[in-house]
Amino acid sequence: MLTVLVIDESRSRAGEICSGLALAGYQVAAILADAVNLTAEVEALQPDVILIDTESPSRDTLENLAAMHKDMPRPVVLFTHEDGRDTIRDAVRAGVTAYVVDGLDPRRIKPIVEVARARFEDTQALRRELDEVSRKLSDRKLVDKAKGVLMKARGLDEDGAYHAMRKLAMERGQTLAKVARDVIDMAKVLL
């Protein structure tokens, strides 16, 4: 069952939200009045989704969301009356997945939460893909630099330098990037 952490400074509104979440088939992990200790609460409760209902998201709330999002990203749904462009941008940068203006209708909770979860999963997949591409590019730069070191030090052509590193990587059971890093490190010591 999906668990939701509710953050709302109004106890009566939080009660309505909890009713809407229960009707949608979700379980409430906890109700917080503010996001002051958000990272610690998320770490302790491990909610699947965070739902915030506020008149206007404060700078502190957005900063706490950003800190939490960095280490423990979760889908975040924010219901508010604030429709300012800068506030919306700040909220999205802080990790808000769905920003809903003009309050909360308990009957709309389920589709909004599901859209937020889908968008969050897509964003996380894109981030993983970007991280992988960045890592591969970084590895490629290391290999090219190491090839240059071997070409200069051992008088090899580019293909020969690559094959020498590849052979060493296979013999050691290491990645080509690891061997390239070792070659570069050794060149710093020896040259």
pLDDT score recorded for residue 189 = 85
| Each residue's pLDDT expressed in tens, for the chain with a length of 191 residues | 899 999 998 888 888 889 889 999 999 999 999 999 999 999 999 999 999 999 888 999 999 999 999 989 999 999 998 899 999 999 999 999 999 998 677 778 899 999 999 999 999 999 999 999 999 999 999 999 999 999 999 999 999 999 999 999 999 999 999 999 999 999 888 86
Strand 76-80 to strand 27-32: parallel, antiparallel, or no bridges (unpaired)?
A: unpaired
pLDDT score recorded for residue 106 = 76
pLDDT score recorded for residue 191 = 66
pLDDT score recorded for residue 134 = 95
Does residue 126 contact residue 112 with C-beta atoms inside 8 Å? no
> How far, in Å, are 8, 18, 68, 102, 163 from residue 55 at the CA level?
9, 18, 21, 9, 63
Does residue 21 contact residue 6 with C-beta atoms inside 8 Å? yes
CA distance 139 to 153: 21
Token reading at 143: 């290999």
**What class has domain 3-104?**
alpha beta
> How far, in Å, are 5, 94, 163 from residue 118 at the CA level?
18, 18, 44
Residues of the chain with CATH 1.10.10.10: 132-190
Helices 38-45 and 59-71: crossing angle in degrees, nearest 10, is 40
Kindly report the pTM of this predicted structure. 0.75
Residues of the chain with CATH 3.40.50.2300: 3-104
Q: What CATH number matches the domain at 132-190, 2.60.40.10, 3.40.1440.10, 3.40.50.720, 1.10.10.10?
A: 1.10.10.10
Token reading at 64: 């706490």
What is the radius of gyration, based on Cα positions, of the chain? 25
Between vectors from CA 122 to CA 118 and to CA 127, what angle results, nearest 5°?
Answer: 145
Token reading at 121: 């999963």
CA distance 140 to 4: 42
